[in-house]
Structure 1
Amino acid sequence: MPYRSLHTGSLPPRDRFDWWRELMLAHDAPTESESPSSGFAGTVEGLELGDARVASLVFHPLRARRTPALIRQGDPEDYELVFTLEGEVLVSQHRRDAVVASGQFALRSTSHPYDCRTRRTAASGTAHVVTVHIPRATLPLAADQVDQLLARSLPLGAGSGGVLGDFLQSLIRRGPELAPAEGKRLGTAVVDLAAGFLAGHLPFGNRLPPESRERILLSRIDSFIDDNLADTDLSPASIAARHHISVRYLHSLFRRQRHTVSATIRNRRLERCRADLADPRWRHLPLQAIAAHWGYPHLASFSRAFRAAYGIPPSDFRHRATPSTPLDTGPSLLRQP
């Protein structure tokens, strides 16, 4: 998936804010930027995930306005979830104001004017937010209901909010290592988790269609599997217990998926091992260390599973792998499961 990281560090100080302003105006939902800071600096990291786009922005005090003229210039008809990680921002839209503190969300729409300001920064003098851009048409919720949440502070709470917050931070942290083939799956997970989170804040949130509730649960399970591949106890039983469902219901959820629960765990573990075996950074590590890191405590069982999946022993694969030909298999996360 396309990952981009842009920052002002390579520019002369006098040019940094102008560069940022032009970058925000070039967006498909352009905004006008103002900053009181004479020493402005900023960083943007972005991920294209199919229907969803996720961006991490770190910046000195800033004001961003989406005006009627800019809406006429370009409107992708997106909802934008703003997740504050450091500092505090004020989001104004539809004659409402939301103070969004660290660990909280707010929602805005690209189809209506809005005004966002930095109210407070971290000790570093910067604020840090993650934005999620979701096309209105992809949310399984009525737009008139979702619009009730515009410019309101939305706490994480329990359930899908906490999962969504953790998932977004994980995506940004692992962005440079994520494989293009995973983009659509991860984008679907972002949309489903966001829909579940927003539905929980609506008066009629329980009217989310049953098929959407199932997709949201599958997205939570999918994220849980990815985050716990190193746990040798990861199994259908432990996944079902963690999500307060029966093992039978878990298997029924996966009937329409490409693989069973157990096969999903096995395939993702093998994909991570394969990526690390081909990564020259980890050539000093023995096979057993890589296998154990991804949930295979016994080298013999790992070798059998690897050969059955790829038709070659892991030692031979490592020997033949060429660092100049990257593998599109998944994130290499040896340092952080």
Structure 2
Amino acid sequence: MTRSIDTAMPENRENSLSGRPQGNDSGYFITLPSPVGGDDHLHLAVNVSDRTVLVDHESVLSVEPGDLVITGARRPALRTGGEVGLALFRVPFSLLDASAADLRKVPHTHLSGRSGLASLVSQFLTALARTPGRERLAGGQRLALNTADLVALLVDKVLQEQRPACAGAGHDMLVRIQSHIEDNLTDPDLSPESIARAHHISVRYLHKLFQAGGTTVGAWIRQRRLDACRAELRRQRRTVASVAHTWGFVSPSHFSRLFRQTYGLSPRQWQAAASSDS
């Protein structure tokens, strides 16, 4: 018997993890809440059964117990042979530390759940899928955010592995520059000029390195700062202005506008949503 699974489903607006059975089998949809209405989602399936499941998308995958299938497609559909033993998770893009453009490029990727980070994610999500719905709901926003953080680590690994190898020297230089930026995000004077000077390259060459990856130096710095502020706002009870200043934003009002444009909520709204279940 073949079952089709369409991952489109009504949005859940509660600050918690929700799920429902898929038919009369062991498959579940589990949706992490999005603080931004209409957010795109990453879809992740875990084989929670004790048997191999055949998954047919563009090719047939033999998904062993504990294996994962991940995709950033807007509306992916999976066809499985036999009884479905998949737990299906939807994670809002806004909860992952990557751009929506990068996440949409993630193809159907099959990951072995036997070792490494994928094994850790698989074990956590399998346990979560087997947790009664009432207990998942009781975990609220905190459980959802912790789940998203773990999935974000896996997504980052997938994206890193799928990026084409750049010309050796250029790629190595870009990695060093990105590490330098991460170490200096709190410096309000961080700029293309200061970065180029620190690495003894021209500003023009610096821009060329980032353009090869489909972004700009300024956009990359801004997004990393926003991601850092978002993470801090949901975990600490500091003022918005204080957090913005810590991460290199000179103007709190400018920061608030950028935050709303990026995540669909003001920093205060995001902080309030994150603390509602604390």
- Shared fold per TM-score greater than 0.5: no
Greater Rg by CA: 1
Which TM class, normalised by the smaller chain length?
0.3 to 0.5
Q: Greater relative contact order (Cα 8 A, min sep 6): structure 1 or 2?
A: 2
